[in-house]
A and B are shown apart, each in its own frame.
Chain A
């Protein structure tokens, strides 16, 4: 028993997995009693005074730690580590929140100091994102990661997933914050991404193994995304979007909000345009964010300041390619409209499109629809 009391991992697992005792009660206990060790030692009367009879009884009953021990074994088997306030790997940025997570389950490597500048950008946005948002999320994720900025997001469909993907392409570090149990891959579509982030970044969650996703968990998860970030970038959000909750939380936490503008008629850009109206920084290039972060980062290396985003050198294109390129934008263009503009035969157009696609100049995000690649 004595050993178990001194095993901080076990103690934290115990404290965070007591049935019927919620987050609010736990925080109350911590603020009034102090450390978890002290809570473990506290008398039933003391506990009853603070959180009431029923919950105190639950704490006393669970003191044999059977559940925690079982959990610890399971975590070891599944290669899941835990961090908690006071742990050396616990992200310092979270401590600035008013309700930092009491425990985080981690898959992958949670670096103590996340990167050279210790700069994180959260990227959030619509799950049902358009091509415009998806491509921009990919591009911002990639370019910011190249600059050594960590990308934090929620591993959801749409913008989140693309931001992670971009970070991985840019060889950067990325953290996925889950709104469900650490070992639950939700949504299933992101399975590949989940494993890749596990290898090259970290997946974290407040919820232990086996806990299924619940709509209520996601807003709570969002506060961790904004808590970890120095700035939050919103790409494509509808009028009532979860991403706007994240933005509100980030604002409360004193974080910078960046938003990518969209056309005022696009429903998917209503939320972001509103954010800009309310004072979020309007971002049209990753350089805007990099420059803005420079003000926040103390250790930013001035010599690295020139970040260049490779753009297409139009002079190197053949005339037909140039014409085709100028027809396209980030708005998917249907191949028939391209044919009409180029006045070329169907097979020639298809061939031209394929050649340009191979050169990485354009993409086919949807069958028969083309965009320029950014």
Chain B
């Protein structure tokens, strides 16, 4: 007898529906699984057989064939155990064949029949819902995650018997409603605030510009200047994640198995700070079945690279593509996997190996060492960073002063306003923020008055700015003008953009420090 249920898998960060078919035939007793399976799925046969036996179902001494379709998608993961078991039970004919075409079944089985947690449930269920499936049977531990999708009837099962009883209709389960499902309107608590940083006005202004236009940032300065502290607080001045953004982020974390069991929707902006020993693959994603890397985990959020020159040079260079394309495509023989990677790069570095330059009384490095250290950041990477600031350690007096600093909320409100201006301007385009402006859009949306244009030309010839540099400066001045709520870019905005732009190299024009 033939039966069919629906399971799911993940490709990249998106779910895919997989038909699980079972058929019991005369022949030598065996359980045969086909359909382009990875080894973790091939092993499902043993698990399912034992789990069925221990749940009181004895497999007939017949030839059982399981097919997972479509056959051209590589299936991996442990979520197929439960649908396979259920399709076998259905084809055994011991329970009436119930219509399960509008149900997706996901779950891993233990030998005793318990159903346990599976990674990537959210993207699978999300995809199923988009494809007209309205019911899902998932491991009990995953119900919160699956419950994030409004309109989906979510049933959590603890073991195989429960699942089968439920399908038979003998067991009544309550469809789970995730009460935390809808995006709350309260701003997530990051446990830190901008007001904790004393002084550093230039840096804070730079960060506000960065947050407003989603520009990449590089901070250069001696140790203890507050670079990391500031970067950590950056999410607190950025607008809340929209529902779509939240779902996207939660999906990524679901695949990576980094969602807490509560299955809360992630509302905090991701802040990822990988250590500088990270490998290429850990950064951009990889593996035979590609898993998201740090660039994807920081999607819609911040990728903070502390001690930038200490990173392996290759690792930094692979960042170039995601920085430009906002996504990363990992090609494997079976398929090319696209992961979103729309992150804001925030990098911090010391000016020299000992960290004390330009204080020559403390710095023990040779001119050559300093130059080489700064040159570890390649030109193309530097070109993709809009805001480049030097940082000076704060003085004791400032740290313990009573001065009242602006809190994150006030800054955030301004940032949100600036973003609204941008969204409004680009409503007919596929972009929404200034940092996404490309050459064509710059021509369309950034028009300079003659006077301002002449000034820009003068600066370009004086300061030796590249063509790419010009568009960076224009984007940045657009953001600054938006912050001041000005329609036209004025000279003053241009000057501020020039200040924050990296015309002077990492920390002063590379080499200029010592050059003749």
CB-CB under 8 A from A76, the residues of chain B are none
Binds A, one of B284-292, B325-333, B337-345, B384-392: B384-392
Of A157, A332, A339, which is in contact with the most chain B CB atoms at under 10 Å from its CB?
A157
CB <8 Å contact, B492 and A368: no
Report A303-355 residues with CB < 8 Å from chain B CB.
332, 334-337, 339-340, 346-347, 350-351, 353-354
* A322 CB → nearest B CB, Å: 20
Q: How many residues of B contact A (CB 8 A)?
A: 34
CB <8 Å contact, A366 and B390: yes
CB-CB under 8 A from B495, the residues of chain A are 350-351, 354
With A161-B515, A190-B515, A351-B496 as given contacts, are A367 and B202 in contact (CB-CB < 8 Å)? no
CB-CB under 8 A from A354, the residues of chain B are 495, 498-499
The verdict on B379 contacting chain A, using a C-beta distance below 8 Å, is no
Report B484-507 residues with CB < 8 Å from chain A CB.
484, 492, 495-496, 498-499, 504-507
The verdict on B28 contacting chain A, using a C-beta distance below 8 Å, is no
CB <8 Å contact, B508 and A366: yes
Binds A, one of B34-42, B102-110, B152-160, B358-366: B358-366
Who on chain A is nearest to B395 by CB? A337
Who on chain A is nearest to B499 by CB? A350
Report A188-224 residues with CB < 8 Å from chain B CB.
189-190, 193
Cβ-neighbour of A127 out of B367, B492, B508 (below 8 A): B367
CB <8 Å contact, A334 and B514: no
CB-CB under 8 A from A274, the residues of chain B are none
The verdict on A20 contacting chain B, using a C-beta distance below 8 Å, is no
* A112 CB → nearest B CB, Å: 27
Binds B, one of A4-12, A30-38, A81-89, A264-272: A264-272
Cβ-neighbour of A366 out of B203, B513, B516 (below 8 A): B513
A350 to B367, CA, bound (A): 29
Report A140-180 residues with CB < 8 Å from chain B CB.
155, 157-158, 160-162, 164-165
A336 to B395, CA, bound (A): 11
Contact with A along B341-375 (1 / 0, CB 8 A): 00000000000000000101100001100010000
CB <8 Å contact, A268 and B496: no
The verdict on A40 contacting chain B, using a C-beta distance below 8 Å, is no
CB <8 Å contact, A265 and B220: no
Query: What is the interface of chain A mostly: helix, strand, loop, or mixed?
Result: helix
Report B200-239 residues with CB < 8 Å from chain A CB.
200-203, 205, 220
* B356 CB → nearest A CB, Å: 12
Cβ-neighbour of A189 out of B199, B361, B392, B516 (below 8 A): B516
CB <8 Å contact, A367 and B516: no
CB <8 Å contact, A129 and B514: yes
* A352 CB → nearest B CB, Å: 10
With A351-B496, A354-B499 as given contacts, are A369 and B516 in contact (CB-CB < 8 Å)? no
CB <8 Å contact, B360 and A267: yes
The verdict on B274 contacting chain A, using a C-beta distance below 8 Å, is no
CB <8 Å contact, B367 and A367: no
CB <8 Å contact, A366 and B507: yes
CB-CB under 8 A from B392, the residues of chain A are 334, 336-337, 368
CB <8 Å contact, A189 and B511: yes
CB-CB under 8 A from A94, the residues of chain B are none
Cβ-neighbour of B390 out of A128, A268, A353, A367 (below 8 A): A367
CB <8 Å contact, B202 and A335: yes
Cβ-neighbour of A161 out of B202, B203, B484, B516 (below 8 A): B516
CB-CB under 8 A from A369, the residues of chain B are 358, 390
A155 to B390, CA, bound (A): 29
Of B220, B496, B514, which is in contact with the most chain A CB atoms at under 10 Å from its CB?
B514
* B340 CB → nearest A CB, Å: 33
Contact with A along B366-408 (1 / 0, CB 8 A): 1100010000000000000000111010000000000000000
CB <8 Å contact, B516 and A164: yes
A359 to B159, CA, bound (A): 79
CB-CB under 8 A from B199, the residues of chain A are 336, 340
Cβ-neighbour of A365 out of B200, B201, B498, B508 (below 8 A): B508
Cβ-neighbour of B205 out of A266, A347, A364 (below 8 A): A347
CB <8 Å contact, B514 and A336: no
* B227 CB → nearest A CB, Å: 13
Of B366, B371, B392, B498, which is in contact with the most chain A CB atoms at under 10 Å from its CB?
B392
CB-CB under 8 A from A131, the residues of chain B are 358
Who on chain A is nearest to B369 by CB? A128
Cβ-neighbour of B367 out of A157, A165, A267, A353 (below 8 A): A157
With A128-B514, A189-B516 as given contacts, are A158 and B390 in contact (CB-CB < 8 Å)? no
Cβ-neighbour of A367 out of B203, B220, B361, B371 (below 8 A): B220
CB-CB under 8 A from B201, the residues of chain A are 336, 339-340, 346
The verdict on A130 contacting chain B, using a C-beta distance below 8 Å, is yes
With A335-B202, A346-B201, A346-B205 as given contacts, are A128 and B360 in contact (CB-CB < 8 Å)? yes
CB <8 Å contact, B514 and A367: no
CB <8 Å contact, A367 and B515: no
* A313 CB → nearest B CB, Å: 24
CB <8 Å contact, A157 and B360: no
Who on chain A is nearest to B498 by CB? A354
* A65 CB → nearest B CB, Å: 38
CB-CB under 8 A from A364, the residues of chain B are 504
* B123 CB → nearest A CB, Å: 43
Contact with B along A223-244 (1 / 0, CB 8 A): 0000000000000000000000
CB <8 Å contact, B388 and A367: yes
A364 to B511, CA, bound (A): 15
* A70 CB → nearest B CB, Å: 33
CB <8 Å contact, A267 and B504: no
Other 9 A-B pairs with CB < 8 A, given A268-B361, A354-B498, A368-B202: A130-B358, A190-B516, A334-B390, A339-B201, A339-B202, A347-B205, A365-B508, A366-B390, A366-B513
Q: Can you give 5 contacting A-B residue pairs, CB < 8 Å?
A: A266-B361, A336-B200, A336-B203, A346-B202, A367-B389
**B interface residues, Cβ below 8 angstroms from A:** 199-203, 205, 220, 358, 360-361, 366-367, 371, 388-390, 392, 480, 484, 492, 495-496, 498-499, 504-508, 511, 513-516
